[in-house]
Chains A and B, each alone.
Chain A
Amino acid sequence: MKTIKLLTIVLLFSFKGFTQNNEKLNLALQKGLVMIDSAKGEQGFQDAANYFERIASAEQKQWLPAYYTAFCQLHTALLGKQNMETKDAIYDKALTFVEKADEVSPDNSEIYALKGYIIFMKMSLAPQARAMTMIPKATGIIGKSIALNPENPRAQLMLGQTTFYTPEAFGGGKVKAKPLLETAKEKFEKETNTGLNPSWGKSRCLALLQQSN
C-alpha cells in the first residue's frame, strides 16, 4: 500500500503536465511538514523556513506557505543563539509573513494565534521596554484568535502560554495559566486530523502543563 502511495507521489511529481498545481503545492507542503517534524535546533528550522519561503514566493495566493514560513522563522529565533538584534529581525520577518498570510486568508484564527505568539516572543527580548505595550497587543490578538474559533487549541494554548510567562506581578503566572492550559489540552484531544493545516502545539501544551504543577 505504502509503495503505491509513494508511486502515486512520484507519478504526480514527474508528469508535470498532468498534475494540478494544487497537488504540487500539497506535496511540497507535506515535504515541508516532514522537515519541521525532523528539524532540530536553529539550523533545521532555518532550512525549513527558507524552504517554505521559496514556496510562499511562488504561491502568493496561498496562506499556508507564508504561515509556515513565519512559524519556522519564529522557531529559528526561539531555538537559536543569535544576538538580540538578529532575533528581532527574525521576528520582524516572521511578522511580515504572518501579515502576508492574513492578507490572503483574513480572519483566520490560526494566523492570529501565531501572530500573538510572535509578538509575545518579540516582547520577551526586551520586557522592560516592551511589556507595557506589547503584552496587551499580544493578548488582544490572541483574544481575537479565540473569538474567531474557540475550538482552536493553538489559540487556547497561546492564551495559556502568555499567562504562563507573564510575571505574577503583572497578572500572569503558573497558577493562573494552569486552567487555561488544561482547556487547551482538551481542545487538542478533540482535534482530528488537520491534514496540511496547522496541528502543532500539543507537546508544548503538555510540557507547560507539567511545569505548572
Chain B
Amino acid sequence: MKQFILLFALLFYQQITIAQTKISGIVISTNGQQIAGANISIAKTYDGSSTDTAGRFSFVTSEQGKQLLKFSAVGHKPDSLWIDLKGKTLSLELKLKEMVNDLNQVTISAGTLETGDYKKGAVLSSLDIATTAGAVADIVAALQTLPGTAQAFGENGLFVRGGLGAETQTYFDGMIVKSPFGSQLPDIASRNRFSTFLFKGTTFSSGGYSAQYGQALSAALLMETKDMPEKSSTELSLLSVGLSATKTIKMKKSALIFGGNYYNLQPVYAVVKQNINWDKAPIDGQANIQYKLQPTKNGMFKFFGQFNRTQAALKTGPEQMAVTNSNNNYFFNSTYQDYLNNDWKVQAGISYSRSKELGGIQENDYSRFDELTQGRFSINRYLNGRSLIRTGAEVYFGSREDRYNTLSRSFDNDMQAAFTEGEFYIGDNLVARAGARMEHSSYIADWNIAPRLSLGIKAGKRGQVSLAYGTFYQNPDDAYLIQSTNLDYEKADHYLLNYQFLNEGITFRAEAYYKKYSSLTTYDFAGYAGSYGVNNYSNLGNGGSGYSKGVDLFFRDKKSIPAGDYWISYSFVDSKRDFRNYPSVATPPFAAKHTLNVVYKQYIPYLKSEIGTTYSFSSGRTFYNPNNAQFLSDKTKSFHNLSLNVSYLTSVFKQFAVLYASATNLPGFKNIYGYNYSVDGSNRQAITPASKRNFFVGLIITIGDNTFNR
C-alpha cells in the first residue's frame, strides 16, 4: 500500500512539474479523404500517435516551445509543420498529398512500349517474351504481338508502322548492334541473334524516341542486359533442334557467365514437311561469355562477347536457283555506368561488331564483310530528383566490302554524333522532354540536326495523354551507299498522340501517328529487287518520299482470369511510298493495312503447366506482278496463324526442369506472303512459310539450384 501511495505521488509529481500539451486533430488527403494509420510525431522525440480509421489522432507531449510536427502515411508525401507548445490544447487539420509512384506518375508514353521485370508500366515481362506462343523465345517474334508492328512475312527485322525492317535499330545496353539478325535467306527470316534470357528488359519505341538514339527512321529496340545474377547455376536445354548450355558463376562482387548452343534443323525437317527445297538445312552455332562487376554500390561494369555461325543452302524461285550462305558474326560490347553522387551519373561504352557472309547464287560466289566500332559517353545531371539533363557523344568507325566472283567494291564510313536533352517534371501532372541530336557522316560528308520534343500530361488518376514530335535521320542502306557517293541522309518526321490507362493488372493504350518520309533512296533497276544476294543499281539518288498514318490499340488484362493473362493488339496503317525503283506511289508489301494479335496464357496449377495460345491476323499485302500495268496493285489473301504452346514444370534428377512443346499454325492455314515471277513473267511461284506447320519440343534443366531462377 505504501508503495502505491509513493507511485501515485510520483505520477502526480510528474503531472504538476512538467506542463503537458494535448495535440489532437485529423489527417486528410488533399482530395478530402481521411487517412487511417497516418503517423504523427514530434521530431527528435518519441512523442506522437497514429490516426484511427476516421483519420483522428490525439496525444499528449511534455515537450515545450517551438517544435517540428511531422506527419506521414503510406502512399503520401511526408510533410511537417512548426508548432508552438505552451500547454494549450492544439487542434489541427493536417493535409497530405498523394505520392507519385510508378503507376500514377506522369511519363512520356507516346511511342514507347516497355517490357521488363522491374517497371510497373512494363507491357511484357521477359518471361512473357519467352512463353508467348508462336514466338519460340525470340524477342523480335514476341514483339510482333505488340501494336505498331507488322508480321515479318519471311523478311528479317521488325517492321514498324509501315517502315522497313532496316528502319528499326537495335541497341544492346545503349550500343548499336550492326547485324542483330542471322543472314537473310530468300524469303526466309532469321532469328534475332540474342537469347531472350540475356535481358532484364526491352524498351520498344515505335516512334518519337529520345535524342540518345539515332540512325533509325522508324523504331528503336533498346535491350538492357541483366545485372548481377542472384546465384551460381548451370542450365541445360535439350531441344528438338539442338542443344544449349549456360553456366553462371557468381562471385562476391562479380559474375562470370558463359554458354553456347548448337542448332541443326535437319532432323526436324526430315519429319516436318518443308515447302522449301533445302540442300542443307540451317545450322546455327553460338558461343558467348559475359562478365559483370559491381565495383561500387551503384556502379556496374558489363562485358559481353558472342560468336555466331550460321549455314544454309537451298533452291529458290520458279527457276530453282541454288543459293548457299554462311555467316560468321562477332559482337563485343563493354559498358560502364556509375553515380558520382546523387546528382551525377556517367555512362561509357565501347562495342565492336563484325560480320562476314559467304555465299553462292548458282555458279557465282559472293561475300559481304562489315565491321563497326562504336564508342559512347554520356552524363546525366539530375535536378531535384526526377528532372534531368542528359548529354553525350558517340563515334563510329564502319566499313563494308562486297565481292562478286572476282569483282569487289568497298567503302568506309566514320561518324560522329552528339546529343543533349532535358527531361523536366513540372508539378506532378506534366513532364516535358526536349532535345536534339547532331550527326556527321564522313561518307555522306554532311551534318544533320534532329530536334525531338515530347510531352506527358496526366489525365485522371490512372490515365495520361502524351504527344511527341521528332525528326529522324538514317544513312541509306549499305547496299546503296557502296554503289554511290552521291547519297544523302534519309529522313522521317514523326507526330504522335497517345492515351494510356494503367491500373493494377490492366493496361490500355491507344496511339495515333503520322510519319512523313523524305529523301528516301531511289534508283533504276530492272524488275523487283530481292532482299538477298547482290544487285547492281544505277542512278542512285534521294528523290523518294512517302507517309504512314494509322492507329494502334493495345489492351492487356492480367487481373480478370485467375492465373490467366491475355492481351489484344490491333494496328491500322495507311502507308504509301515512292522510293527505290517504284514507277509510281504505291503501298509497299511490308505495310499490311490491318494487323491483329490475341495472346492468351493460362497457368493450371493442377497440371503444373502453362498453356499459351496466340492468334495473329494480317490483311493482305501487296505484291509485284509484272503482268499488271498498275504497280503493286495486287494483294495476297489475308494471313492467319494460330499457335499453341505448353510448358510443363517438373524435375529431372531432382533438378528443376521445364518441358516445353509448341506448334505454330496448328489449324494449317495456307498462308501466302507474295509471289515470285519468272524473268519473262509467264509463271509465278507463291512465297509461303518454310513449312505449313512447325513443331518444337524442348527440355530445359536448371542444375545447382532448386528454385526457378530464370
Contact = CB atoms under 8 A, between A and B. Distances in A.
B88 to A, nearest CB: 23
A106 interface: no
B628 interface: no
A11 B3 CA distance: 13
Contacts of B6: 7
A51 interface: yes
Interface in A165-180: 166-172
B708 A57 contact: no
Contacts of A110: none
Interface string A144-183: 0000000000000000000000111111100000000000
A47 B504 contact: no
Contact of B39 (A14, A54, A128): A54
Q: How large is the interface on B (under 10, 10 to 19, 20 to 34, 35 or more residues)?
A: 35 or more
Given A10-B7, A170-B708, A171-B651, A57 B43 contact: yes
A143 B479 CA distance: 56
A128 B48 CA distance: 40
B603 A86 contact: no
B710 interface: yes
Given A10-B7, A85-B103, A169-B650, A53 B230 contact: no
Nearest to A48: B50
Contacts of B37: 42-43, 46-47, 50, 76
B53 A43 contact: yes
A149 B709 CA distance: 25
B48 A135 contact: no
Interface in A43-67: 43, 46-47, 49-51, 53-55, 57-58
B253 to A, nearest CB: 14
Contacts of B127: 128-129, 132
Given A167-B605, A170-B656, A89 B74 contact: yes
A169 B649 contact: yes
Interface string A124-145: 0000111111011101100000
B50 A166 contact: no
Contact of B230 (A7, A76, A136): A136
Contacts of A171: 651, 656, 705-708
Nearest to A53: B39
Given A83-B504, A169-B650, A171-B707, A50 B39 contact: yes
B11 A85 contact: no
A13 to B, nearest CB: 8
Given A7-B3, A76-B37, A14 B74 contact: no
B683 to A, nearest CB: 52
Interface string B526-569: 00000000000000000000000000000000100001010000
A137 B230 CA distance: 6
A94 to B, nearest CB: 10
Given A14-B13, A132-B127, A169-B649, A54 B41 contact: yes
Contacts of B707: 135-136, 139, 166, 170-172
A14 B50 contact: no
A164 B154 CA distance: 48
Contacts of B45: 54, 58
Interface in A1-32: 3-4, 6-7, 10-11, 13-14, 28
A142 B22 CA distance: 44
Interface string B626-665: 0000000000000000000000011100001000000000
Contacts of B41: 50, 53-54, 57
B4 interface: yes
B231 interface: yes
Contacts of A133: 117, 230
Contact of A136 (B3, B14, B231, B608): B231
Contact of B603 (A6, A128, A168): A128
A93 interface: yes
Contacts of B7: 3, 6-7, 10
Given A47-B50, A57-B41, A129 B125 contact: yes
A93 B705 CA distance: 30
Interface in A91-110: 93
Contact of A85 (B44, B70, B101, B709): B101
A89 B47 contact: no
Nearest to A167: B605
Contacts of A169: 605, 608, 649-650
Given A50-B37, A83-B504, A89 B4 contact: no
Q: Among the interface residues A85, A130, A166, which one has the most CB atoms of the partner chain B within 10 A?
A: A85
Q: Among the interface residues B11, B39, B125, B656, which one has the most CB atoms of the partner chain A within 10 A?
A: B39
B75 A89 contact: yes
B710 A3 contact: no
B46 A128 contact: no
Given A57-B41, A86-B75, A93-B74, A3 B3 contact: yes
Interface in B205-228: none
Contacts of B39: 49-50, 53-54
A120 to B, nearest CB: 11
Q: Among the interface residues A49, A85, A133, A167, which one has the most CB atoms of the partner chain B within 10 A?
A: A133
Contacts of A130: 117
7 contacts: A7-B3, A42-B37, A58-B43, A85-B504, A86-B74, A140-B231, A169-B608
Interface of B: 3-4, 6-7, 10-11, 13-14, 36-39, 41, 43-50, 52-53, 70, 74-75, 99, 101, 103, 117, 125-127, 230-231, 504, 558, 563, 565, 603, 605, 608, 649-651, 656, 705-710
Pairs of residues from A and B, 9 with the lowest C-beta to C-beta distance, nearest first = A169-B649, A171-B706, A50-B39, A136-B230, A46-B37, A169-B608, A50-B50, A54-B41, A170-B708
Given A10-B11, A51-B48, A129-B117, 12 more contacts: A13-B14, A49-B39, A50-B39, A57-B41, A57-B44, A90-B74, A131-B708, A132-B708, A132-B709, A170-B649, A171-B651, A171-B708
